[in-house]
Each structure stands twice: as C-alpha cells, then as structure tokens.
A and B are shown apart, each in its own frame.
Chain A
Amino acid sequence: MQRDCTINTYESDNMAIISILGDLTSSVEESMKKAYKKACGYKTDKIIFKFDGKSRINSTGIAIMIDIVIQSQEENRKIFITGVSKHFHKIFDLVGLSRYTTIVESEEEVKNL
C-alpha cells in the first residue's frame, strides 16, 4: 500500500549518487543498505542521496539514515542530501540529522564542495 520505491546507485562526476524514487520507510531498509554498499565501491568520498521531491520519511527511515551516516563517518565519507520536500527537510532539522549531513539544492552544488 506504500508508494513503490525504486533505488538506483550510480557514479557521476566523481560522486556516488543514490537515487530514491519513493518513500524512506522500513520496506526499503535492505535496499538502502545495499545501495550504500555499492556507492562505497566507487572511488569517491562524496555520496549523494537524491530524493524525488515528493519522498516522505518516517521514524524507521530516520533510523536507516542514522545507521548510514554513522557508517559513513567511520569511513570518512561525506553524505549529501538533495531533492527533499519542505516537510522532509523539517523532519531532518527536527531530529538533528541536518547537523550530520549536508542538504543541498542539487548535485551540481556538491561538485564545488
């Protein structure tokens, strides 16, 4: 009954992109872990989670992101978030995840960082 979620991982301009079309909930936990693992295989320390602008996140989705950010810190990788709705951004601020990730307008922005 949840919005279908499609996750794709690819490399672009020396950045790893994890494209997420759908909602970040418990149903995508394993897919997210696999996507992150694949992203770590690229020779870059920049990993961008690219949402579709309509994606929602719930409490389990928050936990999934926290686990990924913890792992990324241990591996000295930087996590960027893009394509999020105003509400998604609000949730990230509310729980404090925006202090541990960088929310950007587009992946273009990350190229210059």
Chain B
Amino acid sequence: MEAIYHDVIELSVPSRLGLEKVAIDAAASIAKLMGFSEDRIEDLKTAVEEACINSIEHGNKQNHNTKVLVELIADENKLQVDIHDMGKRIPTKIQIPDIDAKMAKRQSSRGWGLFLIKSLMDEVKFDWNPETGNMTRMVIYLKK
C-alpha cells in the first residue's frame, strides 16, 4: 500500500516580472514527481504563470519590495497551488473573452489570463481579504 502523504512547499518570490519562472519550474518539478502526464504539467505551467503574473502586475503592482507567496501542496491524488499577493482585490468577475468580439475590435485583445487558468485547471478559487490580500487556489487531480 502506498504511503499517504501531504507535502507542502513554499516559495517567496519578489514581485518582478520574469521571476514567475521560478514558481513555474517548482510546480512542474513537483507535478512530475507525483506522476502527472506531460500534458497536464504543461497545463499547470501555463496556469501558474498566469496567476503569478496577475499577482505581480495587478496585486502587488510590480513593487519589487513585495513578495508573491506560492504554496505547493502535494497530496496523494492532487496538487494544489495557492498564489498569494499583498495587493488590493483583483477583479475576478471579468468579461468572458470572445475571440470573435476581439477580432471585430469589440473587446480588447487582452484579458486571457483568468480564462486560461479556469480552462486548464480542475478547480479554481479566488479569495481576498484586507489582511492577507489576494489568493488564487488552483487544483489538479491525478487521474490514474
């Protein structure tokens, strides 16, 4: 019988664009150790990238003195990634991106980050409170 485990890894990343790569690589490494497929690891890398960029740009406003906290929680059958920043509430109820509207210039060409996160992860939750800031929780399950 396999051992039941619950490993938590924490990273504290300065709010500088480019450093999200550290979180992406850490999440990918853990997912690989857990046995996720290459396809799912690629999904995870994109979702972690988008969540970190949101926290760096919109949460912490690229203030290099602030940090983005990344918690990677590995359980027997799932990987949970919590991304925290110290900023004001990031709007998470946004206009659903529509490629046809964007091509017709009725929507800005931007605004794909949350869509990608929601599309690629099994569970997503956004939370905010004035003391701890924004939290994006993303979960992917091992489906054996």
Q: Which residues of A contact B (CB under 8 A)?
A: 1-2, 26-27, 56, 58-60, 62-64, 66-67, 69-70, 73, 85-87, 90-91, 94-97, 99-100
Q: A70-B105, A87-B42 are contacts. A59–B21 as well, Cβ < 8 Å?
A: no
> For the complex, is B85 an interface residue (Cβ under 8 Å from A)?
no
- Report whether B22 and A95 are in contact in the complex, using a CB–CB cutoff of 8 Å: no
> For the complex, is B19 an interface residue (Cβ under 8 Å from A)?
yes
Q: A59-B110, A59-B112, A63-B110 are contacts. A2–B46 as well, Cβ < 8 Å?
A: no
Q: A1-B22, A58-B46 are contacts. A87–B39 as well, Cβ < 8 Å?
A: yes
- Report whether B18 and A66 are in contact in the complex, using a CB–CB cutoff of 8 Å: no
- Complex Cα gap A65–B135 (Å): 29
- Report whether B110 and A1 are in contact in the complex, using a CB–CB cutoff of 8 Å: no
By secondary structure, the A interface counts as helix
A100 contacts across to B, CB distance below 8 A:
99, 103
Q: A95-B115, A97-B99, A99-B99 are contacts. A70–B21 as well, Cβ < 8 Å?
A: no
Q: Which of A56, A66, A86 contacts B103 (CB 8 A)?
A: A66
Give the Cβ gap from B18 to chain A, nearest Cβ, in Å. 4
Q: A58-B49, A58-B50 are contacts. A73–B103 as well, Cβ < 8 Å?
A: yes
- Complex Cα gap A21–B19 (Å): 20
- Report whether B53 and A96 are in contact in the complex, using a CB–CB cutoff of 8 Å: no
